[in-house]
């Protein structure tokens, strides 16, 4: 399954990059290109340039990255925590309703097509 890069601004902080870090929204696509689930990857402090290029591209085909693409890393502490960490926020295909952890896991490890 492939991943589609979508954009959006973080909400709730004056300077989101200091307290919140990045919020990279990824959509998992089925073999027909339909979105099956969405995940916000929060607190990445190093992002693979392929993601940045996909986000900035106006070509819809360049917004799709192959499965297994390295996303980035968490080498720095963000906000009010004791160390680097990562959050994953999972959503149904509409991007609004949160997905149950088991359903999210099944989609992202490839148990569902």
Biggest distance spanned by C-alpha atoms of the chain: 42
pLDDT of residue 111: 52
Classify residue 111: in a domain, yes or no.
no
C-alpha 7/C-alpha 11 separation (Å) is 13
In a domain? residue 110: no
pTM above 0.85, yes or no: no
Residue 21: the pLDDT is 62
Number of domains in the chain: 1
Per-residue pLDDT for 78 more than 60? yes
Residue 107 lies in a domain: no
Residue at 108 is within a domain: no
Q: What is the pLDDT of residue 104?
A: 79
- Inform me whether the pLDDT recorded for 75 exceeds 50: yes
Structural domain range at position 8: 2-102
Is residue 36 packed enough to be buried (19+ CB in 10 Å), middle (13-18) or exposed (0-12)? middle
- On whether the CB atoms of residues 67 and 44 are closer than 8 A, the answer is no
């Amino acid at each position: 399954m492939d991943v589609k890069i979508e954009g959006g601004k973080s909400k709730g902080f004056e300077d989101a990059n200091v307290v919140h870090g990045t919020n990279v929204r990824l959509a998992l696509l089925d073999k027909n290109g339909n979105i099956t689930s969405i995940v916000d990857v929060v607190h990445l402090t190093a992002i693979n340039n392929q993601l940045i290029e996909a986000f900035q591209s106006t070509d819809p085909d360049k917004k799709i990255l192959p499965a297994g693409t390295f996303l980035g890393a968490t080498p720095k502490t963000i906000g009010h925590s004791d160390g680097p960490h990562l959050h994953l926020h999972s959503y149904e295909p509409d991007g609004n309703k949160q997905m149950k952890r088991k359903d999210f896991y099944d989609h992202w490890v490839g148990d569902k097509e």
